[in-house]
A = this chain, B = another copy of it.
Amino acid sequence: MIIVRSLQKMQALAIKWQKQGRSIGFVPTMGSLHQGHVSLIKKARRDNSVLAASLFVNPSQFGPKEDLAQYPRPFFRDKRICRENGVDVLFCPREQEMYPKGFNTWISVDDLSKPLCGAFRPKHFRGVATVVAKLFQLVLPTRAYFGQKDFQQLRVIERMVQDLHLPVKIVGCPIVREQSGLALSSRNSYLTRAQRLAAVNIYSALRAAEEVIKSKSYVSEREVRRAAEVVLRKARGLRIQYLSVVEPSTLKPLTRVTGNALVAAAVFAGKTRLIDNVLIRKS
């Protein structure tokens, strides 16, 4: 595995691969890798001739009061995980090269960025779309892999790729959970032992919502939400930021669930914001 920091070197390498007709797998990450990332890397390794992963804590997707400074950056551990799972090139761009003085270009996927997390993190998805588009131009992937835990992010990226005709296939991969049900996240490292126990209820709540939806052919959004809220309210020390039932493709709110639905939540455990979702397919 080689480590590349220079943007120009990364792009030159990608162009070389492209000319050789090799398929390029790409797993963009913010580092602090867990088994969720490992599942993406393993899948990408199986599907492609060369495999690039990136580590870049992207400042433009953090709000001014968010955890950019304290976001974990265990570089040596991340490097080892990538090497052990077959990454060929680990791309670690420098912030000052990604966002030099005078940087001025932003990509927005308007409607899909407004609901759910977007309502509380107004410039988050603009930062995500922009950095992902930049990384795609530097790595020129054939296929790029994203976890479904960040479901809204996945939809924003899929829409951007479609609208801008980026020649890359986006592969969404299932959420990886602890045995307890807690979705893996780099931010789980912020949790105290008590918060971790409480946080388990996020997935239980989503499962309760899922059960209500699956038990009936017609169910109101309120009924679904109430089923989940009951579970969350019983858990100590959790604060719901949002709990929404939306159409999975447009992310528009549903008032009644008859077909596919996404139940998504953002919940604070102390100061740590956790997100999770379940995708329910009925049609």
Contacts and interface: CB of A to CB of B under 8 A. Distances in A.
A132 to B, nearest CB: 11
A178 interface: no
User: Interface centre among A102, A107, A134, by most B CB within 10 Å?
Assistant: A107
Given A164-B133, A165-B7, A165-B137, A111 B106 contact: no
A103 B112 CA distance: 11
A15 B104 contact: no
Nearest to A163: B105
A164 B108 contact: no
Interface size class of A (residues with CB under 8 A): 20 to 34
Total copies of this chain within the assembly: 2
Interface in A179-194: none
A110 interface: yes
A18 B167 CA distance: 13
A170 interface: no
A216 interface: no
Given A137-B165, A165-B7, A165-B138, A107 B110 contact: no
A81 interface: no
A165 B108 CA distance: 17
Contact of A107 (B21, B102, B106, B166): B106
A65 interface: no
Interface in A182-223: none
6 A-B pairs with the lowest CB-CB distances in the bound complex, closest first: A105-B163, A137-B165, A105-B160, A105-B109, A104-B109, A107-B107
Interface of A: 7, 11, 15, 18-19, 21, 102-112, 129-130, 133-134, 137-138, 140, 159-160, 163-167, 250
